[in-house]
Structure 1
């Protein structure tokens, strides 16, 4: 992880951290903090606790997003302080709808100048985001439509369940904009629960969401999304989410948490050792297998 983050996340970079509800790359975010990165533009469809931590650590100067909050549990007070009071430093916001940001990724992946998005008609967002503009329909003179510009992050970081040694990434559950964000980026770092034999990936090719040719680095990091979850591996740590608001609300408590769980922890393995194996006893899901698929062949 330290090599991947050190090699692809640089000061001033535009960094997409994607994972929607689950597969949120917390371990990668902590390594960004640990390495002391500054001046980042954070792109994330739903910035939650990991964004709050990055902002509190002074790593982020701009956030491009669609929704931010502590997953319906509470507010993110480090982000609020940065926006409202410029503490620890100012935070600039660039807000879209969920589909608007997805369309930016799609335009970036296709390397086209813009993507039309009809849903901004009647919205207040164009009043606060000058990137939301209208263009004439070349096929009908009386119609205009909103468009968004492409985004091509310097690096996209995703977390997934598994990959092979070539970087073919397989994920299941809610995927969100992982694939689009990866294809739009100049570099991709994929963090996975496990690296598996090539044959496991080849036996189920349709589950490959990001092919190896698009991936620059693969990091095996079990339980690397905690307190988020990885479908089928471990559940969300709701106790952590419910407790975060009190930590986030108190700047001193938040800095102490970063000291105890990020700065003085060498890596995610040390983080897990500090949590203890028993912490996950109630987070291991019951098996719920899908039916096998017959990829029959004449050979």
Structure 2
């Protein structure tokens, strides 16, 4: 492809200079991940530059897409997932998707990775494992199933996904243009390799040779970079470690101010990044572990705690558990298991970007920085797919589902309203792929109802299409359990009938209650039993060691209750961060 990169020497400019390089109609990719290393300053400049008709291409939509939609800069959307994390579904994305004002194409993560790799490697197509059991193959643009030319096995193939422009924020660049990325890389390297021009903002520009002195880092070499702008605090209010953590208070205020333009509410304060947010980035894991938790004041085990403990019981020392994009319950359950009965298990967070973390406390502002510190290695989404997911090395990944049918198929894309309109959901992320790749397929439905447990989903965004040992072994996948956890019971996907059957009930829940709340005829296992309550020791570790803010509760409240709970969590988060800063300062 034609590149705008000068031979081995990127151009140095300012943020406005980078924004001027973006053209209307560009196929446009954004780097970073969740609320980490998002190029907010550059995106604000692009949004204010009257750019139009961008084709937005990224694994995630989220905050960057909201900024560009607000500016009416987007004509098409290609993604796998869009969420504002604890703040819920992005309103602008939902609005354009539900009205079809902007076409949305849903990709599987693996298809997008392989399409980017095809562009990066100048190949006409790339193969990928089919998302068996789901409806996703027909939704991915250009994807098709065909016999592999060597083995004859039906395989997915995807054409190149070429980008005109890729924008990313990074920690540092040296004076010759090499760019340093610390922490998880998301799809940054694959997207940079697929792009005609790569535009980078950085916190610092350092002398040539200085990057050699840093530890765990990735380098985007200067011949891959088109232009660089110095933009201190350029990711704020998202994070850029080790400079500052995500400012959840600022994000909460920005999302609450619905009448004010997002580009204005996300503006860096005149005094710069708040000192608390900078100091939080320096807190070490041992300090957080030693800081006493706030009293949660609950004696009896709540349903979220019962489910978290029950999921944790599925894990052992041989487990490799991956926490997805927005899964507080899974994150709590994994850490609880590792902190109690499964110390040798591996946990990967930030969509497998932090590998083999320690079970640090889930203090909202510190989760990313503590996981970044304690992780054995950092990775990108593209290489973890190859190394772990596709290899069948991951044993567990539990994710929430809006709708599950009697065959265990999931819908996280859209629901049809009674009037025929759509309710847009976040998307399947990577679940269409990994539902088959993981040994154990675990789902949770926080509110069991006839709307969430249905006879047939409208769109099968993911499914356990390969269920039996005979189906799984030829693909190189291990055979394990397929379970669905709800606030009423636990289902198992039976390998003979290929339908859900109740194997456990929640305490004090009757079989008739489950039948009445389920949208398909319910079968109960002959050995169906009641789930035992967590022990006091388990609850103590869960409440005080693992989840001192009670983040797990976010998945079990209604949309109306969510705002008040977030406010409560943010207040407690600030107190915990201030305590940790004081403890670390006192300790030198």
Q: Could you say whether these structures have the same fold, taking a TM-score greater than 0.5 normalized by the shorter chain as the test?
A: yes
1:277 maps to 2:307: no
Match of 2:223 in 1: 213
Deviation at 1:6, TM superposition (A): 0.3
Q: The residue matched to 1:186 in structure 2 has which SS?
A: strand
Match of 2:160 in 1: 150
Match of 2:480 in 1: none
Match of 1:297 in 2: none
Gaps of 5+ in 1: 263-270, 291-299
Deviation at 1:240, TM superposition (A): 3.1
1:62-73 equivalences in 2 (<5 Å): 62-73=76-87
1:27-66 equivalences in 2 (<5 Å): 27-66=41-80
Match of 1:296 in 2: none
Match of 1:295 in 2: none
Cα distance in structure 1, aligned partners of 2:120 and 2:216? 20
Q: 1:48 to 1:155 in 2, by over 3 A?
A: same
Match of 2:261 in 1: 257
1:98 maps to 2:109: yes
Q: 1:93 to 1:231 in 2, by over 3 A?
A: same
1:129 maps to 2:152: no
Cα distance in structure 2, aligned partners of 1:19 and 1:66? 15
Match of 1:139 among 147, 150, 166: 150
1:186 maps to 2:212: no
Question: Retained in 2: the 8 A contact 1:167–1:215?
Answer: yes
Cα distance in structure 2, aligned partners of 1:204 and 1:96? 36
Deviation at 1:191, TM superposition (A): 1.0
Cα distance in structure 1, aligned partners of 2:166 and 2:72? 20
Match of 1:265 in 2: none
Q: TM-score, normalised by structure 1?
A: 0.83
Q: 1:18 to 1:237 in 2, by over 3 A?
A: same
Q: Deviation per CA, 1:81-111, whole angstroms, max 9, x where unpaired?
A: 112235xxx2111211222222221111101
Q: The residue matched to 2:163 in structure 1 has which SS?
A: coil
Cα distance in structure 2, aligned partners of 1:192 and 1:58? 26
Deviation at 1:245, TM superposition (A): 4.3
Cα distance in structure 2, aligned partners of 1:29 and 1:52? 10
Q: TM-score, normalised by structure 2?
A: 0.44
Cα distance in structure 1, aligned partners of 2:98 and 2:263? 24
Match of 1:267 in 2: none
1:235 maps to 2:245: yes
Cα distance in structure 2, aligned partners of 1:278 and 1:157? 22
Aligned residues: 270
Q: The residue matched to 1:145 in structure 2 has which SS?
A: strand
Q: The residue matched to 1:282 in structure 2 has which SS?
A: helix
Match of 1:12 in 2: 25
Cα distance in structure 2, aligned partners of 1:19 and 1:105? 16
Match of 2:282 in 1: 286
1:108 maps to 2:119: yes
Cα distance in structure 2, aligned partners of 1:160 and 1:132? 32
Q: Which has the larger radius of gyration?
A: 2
Cα distance in structure 2, aligned partners of 1:74 and 1:231? 24
Gaps of 5+ in 2: 1-14, 285-372, 375-588
Question: Retained in 1: the 8 A contact 2:107–2:139?
Answer: no
Cα distance in structure 1, aligned partners of 2:158 and 2:255? 33
Question: Retained in 2: the 8 A contact 1:236–1:283?
Answer: no
Cα distance in structure 2, aligned partners of 1:119 and 1:280? 48
Ranges of 4+ aligned residues in structure 1 off by more than 6 Å: none
Question: Retained in 2: the 8 A contact 1:134–1:146?
Answer: yes
Q: The residue matched to 1:170 in structure 2 has which SS?
A: strand
Q: 1:208 to 1:168 in 2, by over 3 A?
A: farther
